[in-house]
Amino acid sequence: MEKLKRKEREFRFRRTEILEEAEKIFALKGFHETTMAEIARSAGFATGSLYQFFEGKEDLYATMMTEKLSLMFTEIEAAVSRGRDTPGKLRALVSSHFKFVEENMDFYRLLVRGEGISYSDGHSSLKDQIIRYFLDHVDFIDKLIREGVKQKLFKNTNTRAMAYSLMGIMSFFKFMSVMKPEGSLMKKVPIVLDMFLKGVGRDGAS
């Protein structure tokens, strides 16, 4: 039993090592340009050993992506839950999101790239999983906005669209940051919030 646990721990440890190396290389060269041999070498294993941990290249890639994505949303949602009130939670949402992206640029680039997402896979593909994560996060934001609506902080209209809008504004700042980095993303947090909350119209203008 003791032994089993150690084995299990070692297995986990190795698996994580591989995932971390894989992330770096995939991020650098994309799914197709990365070879299994490369990942193995980088992680200090033999090529064949990767297949003890993952079913194949796609599986390795998908696992890496979903685990990271899960981590991302977990972190963001944890940060939000630490916010005192709804405006604070909103700020936490944006800033923790940007923080994660900035600290994991390589991964984020991969995500945007969307490579390796097989379209015609039989069963629940990576694509579906990614969508699910996104939709769940939209729901999460939706709920946050509904809170705000209850508290009369936000308009009482299409909250889902509002959630999309926030995701969108963030997305584009992230996108531009990936494409043409100009200073830290963190500086953009107030702008994003302002844009989201007040729009661009002058007060009172229709």
Residue among 44, 56, 114, 181 that touches its own copies (CB under 8 A): 114
Q: Mark the segment that binds DNA (CB under 7 A) among 40-48, 143-151, 159-167, 184-192.
A: 40-48
* Distance in angstroms (rounded) separating the CA atoms of residues 3 and 9: 10
183 binds DNA (CB under 7 A): no
> Can you read off the two tokens belonging to residue 34?
């990365």
DSSP result, 63-80: HHHHHHHHHHHHHHHHHH
> Can you read off the two tokens belonging to residue 28?
């650098």
195 binds its own copies (CB under 8 A): yes
Residue 168 CB contacts under 8 Å (≥ 6 apart), including other chains? none
10: DSSP letter: H
Q: How far is the CB of 58 from its own copies (least distance, A)?
A: 12
Residues at the site binding its own copies, with contacts judged by CB under 8 A: 28-30, 32, 112-115, 117, 119, 131, 134-135, 138, 145, 148, 152-155, 157-158, 161-162, 164-173, 175-176, 179-180, 188, 191-192, 194-206
Residues at the site binding DNA, with contacts judged by CB under 7 A: 7, 10, 14, 33-37, 44-49, 51-52, 56-58
